[in-house]
Amino acid sequence: MDLMSRALVASLTALTLLSPAAIAGPKGEVRLLAYEGYADPSWVEEFEKQTGITVKVTYVGGVDEQIAKMKASNGKDYDVVTIDTASLKAYADQKLIAPIDTAKLTSAGNLLPEFKDMSNATLDGAIYGVPWAWGSLGMVYDKKTFPTTPESWEVLWDPTYKGKVISLDDANNAINFGAIVLGIKDPFHLTDAQFAQVKDKLIALKRNLLTYFAGFDEGTTIWSENDVVLMFSMGELAAVNLQKKGFDVGYTIPKEGAVGWLDNLSVSAGTPNPDAAYAWMNFVLQKKIGADMAKKFGYGSTTDVAQGMDYAGRLIWAQNPEDYTRRQAIWNEVKAAE
């Protein structure tokens, strides 16, 4: 039931109002807008006990859904929101998030050296987010079908596996992915000709797909209920979840590379209780929480060196793309194609 309700919340919060009305604790409440794995019940429990602040979590399944939720209330419905580096600018431009008050960020010292300067989250001199978790959009493959790890993304286009491939439904990342497979150097700033190439490549992929999916749980559910052997995934968690369910799957970053993402903790511009927001951020930026997150969900942590995640060097860190509106229009074209 827990898995079910989480899947529902994650993929379709737009339609449901499942989140229970939380009762605020003596020190108020902190409302998180987060991806799965960013507010483990054990951390929430410890945090609530330690601070007296109640935690209310709303899970989202994707970037699009998250910004729509923030925009709907100009951030007033949430206190802390996790935003990937590539989208930070959009949030900052829309004034949905406030600059980080480094004086209140007492646990900044816990950050690993490569994340300490927060350069990924700095816009016009102001820091808009604190690096929190990273990962990649890699390939999940069925180990029985592939005794040796597939080397190239091209296997997803292989007609042998027609109808056994699933792919992430996310306009921006799908286009990044297409560009990376085509070997385009800068997948975040495409020319007209490159856009046309990527569109054709993604339409070709579509013909090999069983379906698109949105959110980790949807990907896992579809994998477990159907005969799927390959997935352009939303991240390491997809493989972790499937392994937990007993599926023999592997996770790999093929030779073309993959998009890497870095999620930052940001403070909503509409928060009435910034102290509670910083209290949560300081709490989760502890080394032990980072290690626990890496262990439980397979995300890379910014406070603890992730084990087994040796491929960071081959990732292409996500940047703000040239034009979201255009990417969405092209993605709609791909999805409407016969």
Partner 1 sequence: METATARPWPDLLRAGLVHALNLGLPLLFVVVPILSFVAVSFWTLEEGQILLIPTLANYRAFFTEGSYLAVYLQTIALSLQVTAVNLALATAIALFIFRRTPRVRFLILMSFMLPLFMSYIIKIYSIRSILGQRGLLNEAMMALGLIDQPIEALLFSRTAIFIALAVLYLPYAILPIYLALDRIPANYLAAAADLGATPGQMLRDVVLPLGRPGMAAGAVFTFILTFGDFVTPQMVGGIQGFTFGRIVFSQFGLALNWPLGSALAVILLATTLLAVALAGLLLRREHVR
Site for partner 1, rule CB under 8 A: 4, 7-8, 12, 14-16, 62-65, 67-68, 71, 87, 90, 93-94, 163, 169, 171-172, 206-207, 209-212, 221, 224-227, 323-325, 327-329, 331-333, 335-337
Angle at 262 between CA 260 and CA 267, to 5 degrees: 160
Q: How far is the CB of 253 from partner 1 (least distance, A)?
A: 24
CB of 252 to partner 1, least distance (A): 24
Minimum CB separation of residue 17 from partner 1 in Å reads 10
SS3 269: coil
C-alpha count within 13 angstroms, C-beta hemisphere, residue 14 = 11
Least gap, CB of 11 to partner 1 (angstroms): 8
Q: What is the 3-state secondary structure (H, E, C) of 211-263?
A: EEECCHHHHHHHHHHCCCCEEECCCHHHHHHHHHCCCCEEEECCCCCEEEEEE
d(CA 39, CA 143): 31
Q: For residue 153, what are its two tokens?
A: 């993304």
The SS3 assignment for 236 reads helix
Nearer to partner 1, 96 or 140 (CB): 96
What is the rounded distance in angstroms from the CA atom of residue 289 to the CA atom of residue 106? 15
Nearest distance, CB of residue 315 and partner 1, angstroms: 21
How many CA atoms does the CB half-sphere of 32 hold within 13 Å? 24
Question: Distance between CA 224 and CA 230 in Å, rounded?
Answer: 12
Query: From the CB of 305, what's the least distance to partner 1, in Å?
Result: 31
Composition of the chain by helix, strand, coil, percent to 5 = 40, 20, 40
Taking the complex as a whole, the smallest distance from the CB of residue 119 to partner 1 amounts, in Å, to 22
Query: Which lies closer to partner 1 via its Cβ, residue 36 or residue 304?
Result: 36
Q: Which two tokens stand for residue 275?
A: 């102290």
CB of residue 325 to partner 1, shortest distance in Å: 5
Residue 97 or 279: which CB sits closer to partner 1? 97
Q: Which is nearer to partner 1, 121 or 171 (CB)?
A: 171
**With contact defined as beta carbons under 8 Å apart, do 221 and 7 qualify?**
yes
Q: 190 vs 285, which CB is nearer to partner 1?
A: 190
Residue 325 structure tokens: 């509106």
Nearer to partner 1, 172 or 268 (CB): 172
Cβ partners under 8 Å of residue 217, min gap 6: 3, 6, 7, 10, 11, 36, 241
| Residue placing its CB nearer to partner 1 in the complex, 24 or 196 | 196
In degrees and rounded to multiples of 5, residue 263 shows phi and psi of: -95, 140
Whichever of 78 and 280 has its CB closer to partner 1, that residue is 78
